[in-house]
């Protein structure tokens, strides 16, 4: 798959930190490109075998399900109203997507695809967006316009399309993590385009430590500034932000996060949303949802959901950068960098 949407590695701001002191345990390192981004995978395999070939095959199977850039994928066939068998990857992703949509009052919505495409952040060319265009698109966007019955997708309107880019990258991390577990790996870190699952410890016997970038526009990948570092163990972590994937037209900035309820790019004080959850798929979906909802509503959801922890970077009324973390997230922070 070339990419899942307009998100790239540059859209999701996380870097991996692990000590390089030699130890007895043999850890395998796999890196490469997939889904239009980069991946870094580190794992301790009990039999010492390099699993890179099998991991890439698993990624390809995932691509065949949820890539809108793969014309033969399950999701592409659904978008083209072609007959297709709903594979386990698609079904699991769709089920979680609906759950998050319900929990966020529609701020997360896989049917947002036509809007994302129109604004130039999807899998089709950008349109000249007008109020009339947005109004017409709102008629075919809404997660209640689609459902699964008897193993088949039922649409209220054939123009409804799905885009999994706000959840699939995190899900792909889980898929690789599950594969490693199936091979007996207990200590590993999987990072795909900035979304992460970390289990056990690194080769020094220490908890994995992850860096969260400052949301600064124009920052090169090799010149990142960190906002915080956090310990990550036995959970997923995803970050969403509008400071990399955007464009300026007519002197106005258009960010890649589209509110499916209004049809317009979001404009609010939340600059970056990092979410911890039991799975990276869930963390990814909520991180995107929170960028739609904004700081206050996102904070309310986190504090009322025991399965979520979050770290938000936002601008206060004076335009100054501030940070907020939920209690569970705060306990895992190693350092806050001014």
CA 140: distance to chain centroid? Answer: 24
Question: What is the reported pLDDT for 244?
Answer: 52
Residue 2 lies in a domain: no
Helix (H, G, I), strand (E, B) or coil at 327: helix
Distance of CA 221 to the CA centre of its chain: 18
- Do 108 and 207 lie in one domain? The reply is no
pLDDT digits (tens, 9 = 90+) for 194-212: 999 999 999 999 999 998 8
Residue 4 belongs to some domain of the structure: no
Q: Are residues 41 and 129 in the same domain?
A: no
Q: Same structural domain for residues 141 and 241?
A: no
Among 29-33, 59-63, 120-124, 182-186, the minimum mean pLDDT is found in 120-124
Higher pLDDT among residues 149 and 130, named by residue: 149
H or E stretch including 99? Answer: helix 88-103
Q: Are 229 and 108 members of one domain?
A: no
Higher pLDDT, 9 or 155: 155
DSSP state of 61: H
pLDDT tens digits, one per residue of 242-281: 655 433 444 444 446 888 898 888 778 888 899 999 999 9
Q: Which of 131, 153, 175 is the last residue of a domain?
A: 153
- Residue 135 has a pLDDT of 86
The answer to whether residue 234 is domain-embedded is yes
Does 130 lie in the same domain as 273?
no
Distance of CA 144 to the CA centre of its chain: 22
Domain containing 236 — which CATH number? 3.10.520.10
Establish if 158 belongs to a structural domain: no
- The pLDDT > 90 percentage for the chain reads 63
Residues 170 and 264 placed together within one structural domain of the fold: yes
Q: Total domain count for the chain? A: 2
- Expressed as residue numbers, the domain containing 242 is 9-78+165-336
Percent of the chain scoring above 70 in pLDDT: 81
The number of residues in the chain equals: 338
> Would you state the pLDDT for residue 16?
47
- List the single range of 194-203, 218-227, 235-244 with lowest mean pLDDT: 218-227
Tell whether 93 and 71 lie within a shared domain: no
What pLDDT does 95 receive?
97
């Amino acid at each position: 798959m070339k990419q899942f949407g307009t998100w790239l590695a540059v859209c999701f701001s996380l870097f991996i930190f692990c000590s390089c002191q030699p130890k007895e345990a043999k850890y395998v390192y796999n890196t490469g490109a997939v889904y239009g981004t980069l991946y870094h995978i580190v794992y301790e395999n009990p039999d010492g075998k390099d699993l890179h070939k099998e991991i890439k095959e698993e990624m390809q199977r995932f691509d065949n399900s949820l890539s809108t850039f793969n014309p033969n994928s399950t999701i592409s066939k659904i978008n083209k109203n072609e007959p297709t068998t709903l594979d386990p990857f698609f079904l699991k992703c769709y089920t979680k997507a609906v759950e998050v949509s319900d929990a966020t009052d529609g701020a997360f919505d896989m049917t947002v695809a036509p809007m994302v495409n129109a604004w130039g952040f999807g899998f089709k060319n950008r349109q000249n967006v007008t109020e009339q265009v947005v109004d017409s698109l709102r008629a075919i966007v809404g997660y209640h316009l689609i459902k699964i019955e008897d193993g088949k997708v039922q649409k209220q309107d054939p123009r409804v399309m799905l885009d999994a880019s706000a959840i699939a990258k995190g899900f792909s991390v889980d898929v690789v993590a599950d594969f490693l577990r199936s091979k007996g790996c207990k200590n590993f870190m999987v990072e795909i385009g900035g979304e992460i699952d970390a289990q056990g410890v690194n080769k020094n016997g220490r908890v994995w430590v992850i860096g969260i970038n400052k949301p600064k526009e124009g920052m090169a990948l090799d010149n990142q500034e960190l906002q915080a570092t956090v310990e990550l163990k036995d959970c997923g972590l995803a970050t969403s932000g509008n400071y990399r994937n955007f464009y300026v037209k007519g002197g106005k900035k258009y960010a890649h996060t589209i509110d499916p309820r209004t049809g317009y790019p979001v404009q609010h004080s939340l600059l970056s949303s990092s979410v911890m959850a039991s799975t990276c798929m869930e963390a990814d979906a909520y991180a995107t949802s929170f960028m739609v909802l904004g700081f206050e509503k996102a904070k309310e959801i986190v504090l009322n959901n025991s399965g979520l922890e979050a770290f938000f970077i936002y601008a206060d009324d004076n335009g100054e950068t501030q940070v907020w973390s939920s209690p569970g997230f705060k306990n895992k922070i190693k350092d806050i960098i001014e």
